Amino acid sequence: MGALALPLALLLLCAFQVCSASEGKCCANRVAPWNFSLDFVPHILHALDQYRPCSSQPSDPDCECHALTIRRDLGPYAEAGITRSMMAQSRRLGVVYQVIDGRIYRQPEVPHPKRCADVEDMLLGIAGELPNVEFILNVRDWPQVPFLSGFTGPVFSHSVSHQHLDIMCPAWSFSSVSGPPLQRFPHGIGQWGHMRRHMAAAAAQVSWEHKQPIGFFRGTRSSTERDTLVRLSRRSPDLVDAQYTSNVGAETVDEVPFSGHCQYKYLFNFGGITASFRLRHILLCKSLVLHVGDQWQEFFYSSLKPWVHYVPAPSNATVESLEQLLVYLRLHDDLAEEIAERGFQFVWQHLRLQDVQCYWRNLLQEYAKLLKCRVEQEPEFIEVRKQTKALQKFEFPGLCQCDPLLSGQLLRHEQTAVP
């Protein structure tokens, strides 16, 4: 393969360089020489050899794929359990919820009421299957329990790092359009059950062969890790199209809906303030996802395996290393397509809305077993009841019929950029 690498690379560069008609030739001399010493095939083969399906049944009725995350996050409490004093510590760090006899109660005043309401929508669907339990939900953007803080109280958070002890739970965005600066449908997030079908439909419209063979990223400058790819894009626009949609004091471009990402073969995912809500969406594009860094996690991340479902890249990757990686992937198109397909299949089969509900149910059932104190209803708490939320009704062509006036408002409404 080494003897063919340079000719193949030049052919690829010729195909994507922008040259004037009068030149009538490839502009290869305008591009820095590539380093073809990389060989990721052994990594891929080893990952595939070690990989085992996360569920004994393809339908995964008991959401086995995510069970390890629950065991790991509850591990620190497995021996001594969760005491009343621990719960008292946690109460100041989030919203207190109680489930008593199949009914849900919470404290009356909450930060981020919309986020709470979205989580409540999910919990109301499983309340009858839950034991009596009390837990603290963090609806802020960042986790609350640093590893070395000496704090022992349990807090549920949507995203954690290796330096935190928060218990991971599904983010509010699975049942809503709310979140960190993200647009609403059609440009960003909608209710997950609809969005996954919408993204799969967008992916079906563009076959692998017809995707643009370049890297792609659109988002805010919420992390400096993203700067390297943007610099590469400026240097080699034939290889990467990466631009910021929000960056104080610098040039920006318009955002691109998640479905628009499916036009490209290589999609980059970065962490932002914490984990980005982008990953599960772009995996459904049937494009190859390059997941940069591993600091921030969501509950389903550990079931995704590098080189099986996505291509990993270090958070301190240089411009040159990202450049070489993209060229390598171009030269190994079949391998890239196979990884992209496996990433799609995982999200399609194991990150359904029913899997998210199943995770909540299993998490709270296992968590309740660790409580060493009886759950007693707080007299000032309010009962959470089903509510109709107009903003969760969207028009997904071919999927559902909704209020046309509302849909028109959403289509015209400009929101903040996708991170």
Catalytic positions are 141
Give the integer Cα–Cα distance in Å for 261 and 259: 5
Are the beta carbons of 363 and 69 closer than 8 angstroms?
no
CA 313, 314, 320: angle at the middle one, nearest 5? 75
Are the beta carbons of 350 and 55 closer than 8 angstroms?
yes
What are the beta bridge partners of residue 161? 296
Query: What is the DSSP track for 110-174?
Result: -SSHHHHHHHHHHHHTTGGGPPSEEEEE--SSS-S-BTTS------EES-EETTB-PEE---GGG
Are the beta carbons of 308 and 247 closer than 8 angstroms?
no
Query: What is the DSSP track for 280-330?
Result: HHHHTTTSEEEEE--SEE-TTGGGS-BTTTBEEE-TT--HHHHHHHHHHHH
What are the beta bridge partners of residue 305? none
Question: Residue 252 to residues 219, 243, 245, 319: CA-CA distances in angstroms?
Answer: 10, 7, 5, 20
Give the integer Cα–Cα distance in Å for 390 and 400: 14
State both tokens at 250.
């610098």
Other Cβ atoms within 10 Å of 99 Cβ, number: 24
What are the beta bridge partners of residue 290? 268, 311
Are the beta carbons of 315 and 225 closer than 8 angstroms?
yes
Give the integer Cα–Cα distance in Å for 397 and 399: 6
Give the integer Cα–Cα distance in Å for 107 and 409: 33
Q: Which amino acid is at 99?
A: V
Q: What are phi and psi of 220, to 5 degrees?
A: -80, 165
